[in-house]
A and B are shown apart, each in its own frame.
Chain A
Amino acid sequence: MPPVSLSTLRKGARGTVTDVRDDAQTLGDEAQSTVSRRLLELGFIPGEAFEVIAEIWPGGDPMAVRLGSTLFALRRREAGAVLVSVEGG
């Protein structure tokens, strides 16, 4: 199963994280922290199980993703940095 971006998935999709791309998108003004760095710090690391549990209508943006036992809200644009392999997809 080739990895796909988390941003392409709809509610109910589940699988495992395979990678986080360094997209150099900055996050916040207090330091040079990037979205990719924060995603890694929050636990989006290879091998971690996830499930898309909710999305806003219309457009499905932002989405809510369960990672392990923690829920996160993120927009499709941030989710674009996370590569995943989908279970049974």
Chain B
Amino acid sequence: MSGPAPALDAMRLALVGVPNCGKTALFNRLTGSRQKVANYAGVTVERKEGSFVGPTRGERYRLLDLPGAYSLTPTTLDEAITRDCLLGRLAGESAPQRVICVVDATNLRLNLRLVLELHDLGVPMIVALNMSDLAQSRGFGLDRERLERELGVPVVETVAIRDGGERALLERLESLPAPAAGPTAEWREPSFEQIQQTQREVRRILHAAGYHEPARNRALQRVDGLVMHPVAGPAILAALLFFVFQAVFSWAAVPMELVDAGVSWVGAKLHAALPPGLLNSLLVDGVIAGAGSVLVFLPQIMILFFFILVLEDSGYLPRAAYLLDRLMGSVGLSGRAFIPLLSSFACAVPGIMATRTIPNVRDRLATIMIAPLMTCSARLPVYALIIAAFIPRQRVGAFNLQGLVLFTLYVAGIVAAMAVAYALKRTAMRSSYHPLLLELPEYRWPDLRNLMLGLWERLKIFLQRVGTIILALMIILWFLSSFPAPPDGVTGPAIQYSFAGSIGRALEHVFAPIGFNWQISLALVPGLAAREVAVGALGTVYSLSATGDDVAATLVPMIAGTWSLATALSLLAWYVFAPQCLSTLVVVKRETNSWRYPLLMAGYLFALAYLAAFVTYRVASAVLS
């Protein structure tokens, strides 16, 4: 290169490490919120990149957080991406100029082999001895300087929870020799004998560096004795999941009322401040009533994500996968499918992306196909709306009846998913045997900063959706619902004469057998873009249907007064299966590289949704009348 390096030419770093080594927490501390989350070209493996400025020379760095890998010989798509990126084999991605290999100081036996494997690649490398504070307090012994000499690369201590060590890490990084042209040695899969030899070298180095492990903490042993107990373990898992869904309802009640009151207040103020007319209606009925009715569910979604992030961080999830392996095996899935399926409770999109940690391609496909049956957070507004309107707020024993109904809906989704998986794995997606082999990491207190960063990401995504897709759809729906204007002299609500009214009544022919009126039928259409939009759409439609002074009344009393209980139950049943989410279908298309699976998915979900709603409506009508 001639002349000084331009400022934009930041050095490319990669963060590498085995799963559970605390790599992502370190990535978050190094880059703060300067992160870009995207995908690697052509695959759905999440690509996280951040940037930061070095502490001494002010040099700029681009840091790539590579997926966790135990080895350069991959078993999963994640591991394949990590290897290919390091070797510069990835299209559209140049090999990193320097590598930060993160190792868990409390699990060096498992971590160090990868360090030696990377070292052989010849990329300039630095080792971040992560969680060294935890290692010290738990009684691990290690001579860092000696380890550094034995490995022949800089070893810097970083800590698990608080800030610490990053500055030293960066200073050592800057003092590394200038990178060579990239990995020169052609990488080759090591033979069994070579792996054993590397493992012996790991043990020799650890011995030389005075590494010793304490006996495992007695309290944690007792925790595992309970959590992994063949009887108590599954009971604890069930209780935990039940608690989460109760909390989603109970804890969110107060913040939801606040948001709701805020939205109504803004709506009323706007309604009073603006002269009556089209603009007033657009803002109050379209924007505030539509987008506002979705916004109300923000607290519930945040609480759900909070629990999922805590469970992820604590080390509990792989144990749940172990507990459920047998059960999931009975329908032909691997226990590993539990983690993507649990993420699907938040949103099927990251859930489907997380299936890449399932080594077998047919197991992965079957898991993808059932992921939308896990009740995602976008369905929560729909469920919550109907439950609030039709299920009395009372206690059944120690439980909240509304929470109980919600739990039942989640269970219905799970049972349906198991049935579908069973059918798929017996027919199209039958696969040969595939092993489990899962590391159960040590329990760890969730890192508050990671938790907050994760929730912040979700909050941003949710508000962006409300502000863009949902808002736009609400405005379109308002136009369709307001034009053409009703003929002079009619007394009914204007919306009945509009385009939306006609569309809704046309769709009603399809949906009348399952008890949906034209307003619901209409709301299902924008709900295709995102499920929660159905709630906003109902908000707009009913707001415009209202005659006289009850415009400001919120949606809950409105639908409680106009729908029958059978219709409400039928709509709940519909939404257990409803295939209405374009982003999910698009991700499935990308993940499977064909339209076959998304079409199959949409088709089977639609059929199941219609069938379930039909049965529910007929049975409920017969029983209730």
A interface list, Cβ under 8 A from B: 22, 25, 27-33, 35-43, 45-46, 53-57, 59, 61-62, 64, 66, 68-75, 77-78
Contacts and interface: CB of A to CB of B under 8 A. Distances in A.
B326 A61 contact: yes
Contact of B113 (A35, A41, A75): A41
Contacts of B322: 56, 62, 64, 73
Q: Which of A28, A68, A77 has the most CB of B within 10 A?
A: A28
B428 interface: no
Contact of A43 (B109, B216, B326): B109
B109 A27 contact: no
Interface in B57-107: 70-71, 73-77, 79-80, 106-107
A74 B437 contact: yes
Interface in B422-455: 433-441
B109 A28 contact: no
Given A29-B361, A68-B213, A41 B436 contact: no
Given A37-B195, A70-B109, A31 B436 contact: no
Contact of A62 (B70, B110, B195, B335): B335
B298 interface: no
Interface stretch (B120-128, B224-232, B538-546): B224-232
Interface residues of B, number: 48
14 contacts: A27-B434, A30-B77, A37-B73, A40-B195, A42-B70, A42-B437, A43-B113, A56-B322, A62-B436, A69-B107, A73-B437, A74-B436, A74-B437, A74-B438
A43 B227 CA distance: 24
Contacts of A45: 196, 199-200
B118 interface: no
Interface of B: 70-71, 73-77, 79-80, 106-107, 109-110, 113, 189, 192, 195-196, 199-200, 213, 216, 224-225, 228-231, 318-319, 321-323, 325-326, 335, 359-361, 433-441
A27 B76 CA distance: 9
Contacts of A33: 71, 73-75
A80 to B, nearest CB: 10
B250 to A, nearest CB: 33
A64 B440 contact: yes
A30 B45 CA distance: 13
A38 B224 contact: no
A72 B439 contact: yes
Given A27-B75, A40-B196, A64-B440, A73 B435 contact: no
Nearest to B106: A69
Contacts of B80: 30-31
Given A56-B323, A68-B109, A77 B74 contact: no
Nearest to A73: B322
Given A53-B228, A69-B107, A75-B325, A31 B74 contact: yes
